[in-house]
Amino acid sequence: MDEDRAVVLSRLARGVADRRADAPLSERLAAVCAEILEAEGAALTIGFDEQSRLTVVAADEASARLAQLQDVIGEGPVPDAYREGRPVDGDLESRTRWPVLAEAARGELGPLRILAVPMRPGGRMMGALTVHHTGSYPRHFDLRRAQYLADAVGAALLRDPEWETDEQGSPWASRAPVYQATGMVIAQLGIGPDDALALLRAHAYTQDVGLNAIAERVLSRELDFSQIDISGNEDS
């Protein structure tokens, strides 16, 4: 193991140990990642593919909002990191790469620079570490170090018993309503799963709420996509 990687892993272990032992491991890992990378905030997304990804923890309000917008819009560094399998960065000042995300978040969150790094312990994509900075990266920022850190965090989460079950209370359980609602939209409209999820995301975006909120409306039958006319109005 090279010296830089050893230093990163040592700082990660020390930082996790120094925080409250009763706090979930994911929360401690996110906080330490922000500290090591000198970022204003961090978030951890878990999932072996883009459709199943779930942001399980955000260390600050800005990270939580960025995660929600990317989840709903399907645009941003995290979706791109999943598609491309490499670190992806950009800023909210640019309207060229992620125009919808920039429009939705720039006024609310300011000129943030965002970096999403794939977590791929053992070579398999299983999530992403996202950090954000105000302005440019710190002078000593090292992308290779960020990748070491993301892979180490992924390995730690894979070994955390919290991820071994889908029982109620696990973070995976919070994604279940989205899967169930997607199935109901498929049945309502006779479309494929990707299109059904896209409709859920579009509806969440227009209502300015998270995917889970729209999913719950579908599951409670408050929202039925077969009863929405082509202008977007729900039939009475």
Assess if residue 12 is contained within a domain.
yes
Residue 174's pLDDT is 61
If you search the block for the tokens 């899967």, which residue do you land on? Answer: 179
Q: How does pLDDT run across 181-227, given as a tens digit for each residue?
A: 888 888 888 887 777 877 888 788 777 888 888 889 999 999 888 88
**Contact of 177 with 215, CB cutoff 8 Å:** yes
94, 149: one domain: yes
**Contact of 56 with 46, CB cutoff 8 Å:** yes
Count CA atoms closer than 13 A to 46's CA, side-chain side.
21
20, 49: one domain: yes
Assess if residue 232 is contained within a domain.
no
Q: How many structural domains comprise the chain? A: 2
Assess if residue 125 is contained within a domain.
yes
Q: How does pLDDT run across 6-63, given as a tens digit for each residue?
A: 788 888 888 888 888 788 888 999 999 999 999 999 999 988 887 778 888 899 999 9
The DSSP letter of residue 124 is: -
d(CA 164, CA 183) in angstroms, rounded, equals 24
Residue 96's pLDDT is 75
191, 136: one domain: no
109, 209: one domain: no
139, 206: one domain: no
Domain carrying residue 35: 3-163
End position of a domain, from candidates 135, 163, 191: 163
End position of a domain, from candidates 163, 190, 207: 163
Assess if residue 51 is contained within a domain.
yes
Q: What is the reported pTM?
A: 0.74
Query: Which of 105, 103, 125, 106 is closest to 116 using CA atoms?
Result: 125
Mean pLDDT value of segment 135-157: 85
**Contact of 45 with 33, CB cutoff 8 Å:** no
Query: Residue 26 belongs to a domain with what CATH number?
Result: 3.30.450.40
90, 202: one domain: no
End position of a domain, from candidates 163, 188, 206: 163
